[in-house]
């Protein structure tokens, strides 16, 4: 299968030779995990294979080299943000000329949003071994995914209410465009809207909730099809999912140019109105809100769950998963980290092969604690910054939309931007508002991916203990 330049293009199959740490990971994990030779995780795997033989300083130096030198896209994104800020500050009128390029990038994100989320959820469901994912094991894993994601969302909202980062921005009537929201719907209206009268219309209109409901029902119905019908449908679904991943990655490679244009627009507008200082302070508090929420979930909530359900030492478990967490932070991809996570869980953390083979790969698709926290904070921040008051029912909608939407987040760098664009549209808010916070997304993407992978690992340990193995 072809790929975009600089993206993974070659996959290992069961018959191809493996070497180094990747071979060891496959032996530990006991399964044929698809992994790219050209993935950003590959050099990290080679480093972590020598972790016992090298000093902490030497390991840290090599790690930083990979993150800031080997990952060229991150450098281009940083360059685009800095250059756009300087151009917008020095040439405010340039927003009228360069702004459309930024909105074109956002339009491309919205273009791939619904099909990517739909195919991701559908493929995640039908790829389970059975309709219940190995019975009790799948049920326990699913309950864990929902519980930790909900805790992450509530943590993010709690820090948002404490710091209120968007309170001082006052962006009403300025960039991005300000919507006129209709009156708040009743609970029964929201509930009845879940079931689409016409699924094709729901897809065309980007009605995320209805689309997700239809896709989930279709995924469950798949398990009742005869084998001769289900096999080609599964192959078609996998091909469609990989196609959308490839297309999405291609769109995200335009991020440096898109962010450059968006920064010219944002900084130019704020500089012209004399609110650049308020913008900087608001974004700083928004960044801090996310970091504090992610840190609390990473260092307190998940370790507490680990200790209460397994009796394990969180520090020992963290040390065992250290290489996988560093890999997740550097690549910002849950999917790229799967082989190393399986390796560490099986080889050092002592989690059974049966549990880790289900919980980790499925969790890389449906268990997105960090993404759910980040998305909820972003939605509340953008609404507050633009003076939109979300009622109690709308706040509840944000919580359960992020809970459901995190299931369909692609495990690729910046993949959560697609899902948040869908959630904003579902709430009746412009997806263009994301332009305000996109410059901070890359570093936060690395942080929330680490939370996602840590949650998958803790989930494997918890389910393993509950299974009595």
Three-state DSSP state, 114: helix
Question: Which ranges in 164-226 belong to alpha helices (H)?
Answer: 187-192, 199-205, 208-222
| Average pLDDT score, the chain | 76
pLDDT above 70 coverage of the chain, percent: 75
What are the tokens at 142? 């699913």
Cβ atoms 377, 293 nearer than 8 A: yes
Domain presence at residue 268 = no
Does 7 map to a domain?
no
In a domain, 28, yes or no: no
Residues 6+ apart with CB under 8 A from 444: 287, 290, 291, 294, 374
CA distance 263 to 437: 10
Q: What is the pLDDT of residue 287?
A: 94
Burial 402-417 (b: 16+ CB within 10 A, else e): bbbbbbbbbbbbbbbb
Neighbouring C-beta atoms of residue 224, cutoff 10 Å: 8
40-49, 94-103, 217-226, 324-333, range with the lowest pLDDT? 40-49
Query: 36 has which bridge partners?
Result: 11
Query: In this structure, is residue 67 part of a structural domain?
Result: no
Name the nearest CA neighbour of 370 among 272, 264, 421, 443. Answer: 443
Query: What is the spatial distance between Cα 83 and Cα 260, in angstroms, rounded to a whole number?
Result: 7
In a domain, 166, yes or no: yes
Quick: pLDDT tens for 41-84: 444 444 444 444 344 445 445 444 544 444 577 678 778 888 88
74, part of any domain: no
What's the DSSP call for residue 337?
A: G
Q: Which two tokens stand for residue 283?
A: 């974004």
Q: How confident is the model at residue 467 (pLDDT cuts 50, 70, 90)?
A: confident
Is the Cβ–Cβ distance between 371 and 453 less than 8 Å?
no
Give the range among 57-66, 99-108, 158-167 with minimum mean pLDDT.
57-66
Average pLDDT over residues 137-157: 89
* 260 vs 110, more confident: 260
Structure tokens at 437: 């916070």
Indicate which CATH number applies to the domain containing 307.
1.10.3860.10
Residue 372 has pLDDT above 60, yes or no: yes
Look at residue 422 in the predicted model and tell me its pLDDT: 76
Q: What is the DSSP letter of 417?
A: H
Q: Which long-range contacts (CB under 8 A, 24 or more apart) does 18-24 make?
A: 20/45, 20/46, 20/49, 21/45, 21/46, 21/48, 21/49, 21/340, 21/343, 22/339, 24/49, 24/343, 24/347
In this structure, are residues 455 and 355 in contact, taking their beta carbons and an 8 Å threshold? no
Task: State how far the Cα of 150 lies from the Cα of 129, in Å rounded to an integer.
Answer: 26
Quick check: 301 and 458 in contact, CB under 8 A?
A: no
Residue 5 has pLDDT above 80, yes or no: no
Q: Is residue 219 part of a domain?
A: yes
Task: Look at residue 152 in the predicted model and tell me its pLDDT.
Answer: 94
In a domain, 123, yes or no: no
Quote the domain boundaries for residue 184.
130-226+274-466
Cα dist from 37 to 13, 190, 245, 312, 337, whole Å = 11, 46, 18, 34, 13
For the chain, how many structural domains are there in total?
Answer: 1
39 vs 169, more confident: 169
């Amino acid at each position: 299968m072809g790929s975009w330049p600089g993206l993974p293009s070659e996959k290992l199959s069961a018959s191809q030779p493996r070497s180094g740490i990747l071979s060891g990971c496959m032996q530990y994990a006991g399964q044929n995990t698809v992994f790219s030779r050209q993935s950003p995780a590959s050099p990290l795997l080679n480093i972590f294979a020598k972790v016992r033989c090298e000093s902490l300083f030497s390991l840290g130096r090599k790690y930083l080299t990979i993150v800031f030198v080997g990952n060229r896209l991150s450098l281009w994104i940083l360059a685009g943000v800095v250059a756009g800020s300087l151009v917008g500050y020095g040439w405010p009128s340039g927003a009228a000329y360069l702004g459309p390029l930024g909105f074109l990038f956002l339009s491309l994100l919205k273009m791939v949003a619904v099909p990517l989320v739909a195919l991701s959820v559908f493929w995640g469901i039908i790829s389970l071994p059975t309709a219940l994912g190995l019975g009790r094991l799948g049920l326990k894993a699913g309950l864990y995914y929902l519980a930790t994601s909900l805790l992450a969302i509530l943590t993010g909202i709690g820090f948002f209410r404490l710091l209120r980062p968007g309170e001082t921005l006052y962006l009403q009537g300025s960039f991005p465009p300000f919507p006129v929201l209709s009156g708040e719907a009743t609970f029964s209206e929201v509930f009845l809207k879940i079931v689409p009268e016409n699924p094709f219309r729901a897809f065309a209109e980007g009605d995320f909730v209805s689309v997700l409901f239809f896709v989930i029902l279709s995924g469950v119905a798949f398990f009742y099809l005869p084998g001769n019908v289900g096999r080609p449908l599964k192959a078609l679904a996998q091909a469609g999912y990989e196609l959308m991943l490839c297309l999405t990655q291609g769109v995200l490679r335009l991020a440096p140019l898109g962010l450059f244009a968006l920064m010219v627009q944002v900084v130019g507008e704020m500089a012209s109105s004399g609110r650049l200082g308020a913008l900087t302070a608001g974004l700083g508090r928004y960044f801090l809100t996310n970091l504090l929420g992610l840190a609390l979930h990473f260092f307190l909530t998940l370790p507490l769950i680990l200790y209460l359900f397994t009796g394990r030492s969180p520090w020992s478990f963290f040390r065992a998963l250290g290489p996988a967490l560093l890999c997740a932070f550097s690549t910002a991809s849950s999917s790229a980290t799967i082989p190393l996570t399986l390796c560490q869980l099986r080889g050092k953390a002592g989690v059974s092969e049966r549990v880790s083979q289900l919980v980790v790969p499925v969790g890389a698709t449906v268990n997105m604690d960090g993404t759910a926290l980040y998305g909820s904070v972003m939605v509340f921040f953008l609404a507050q910054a633009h003076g939109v008051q979300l009622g109690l029912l709308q706040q509840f909608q944000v919580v359960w939309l992020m809970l459901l939407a995190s299931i369909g987040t692609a495990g690729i760098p910046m993949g959560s931007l697609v899902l948040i664009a869908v959630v904003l549209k579902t709430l009746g808010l412009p997806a263009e508002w994301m332009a305000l916070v996109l410059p901070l997304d890359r570093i936060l993407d690395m942080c929330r991916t680490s939370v996602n992978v840590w949650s998958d690992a803790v989930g494997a340990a918890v389910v393993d203990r509950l299974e009595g193995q």
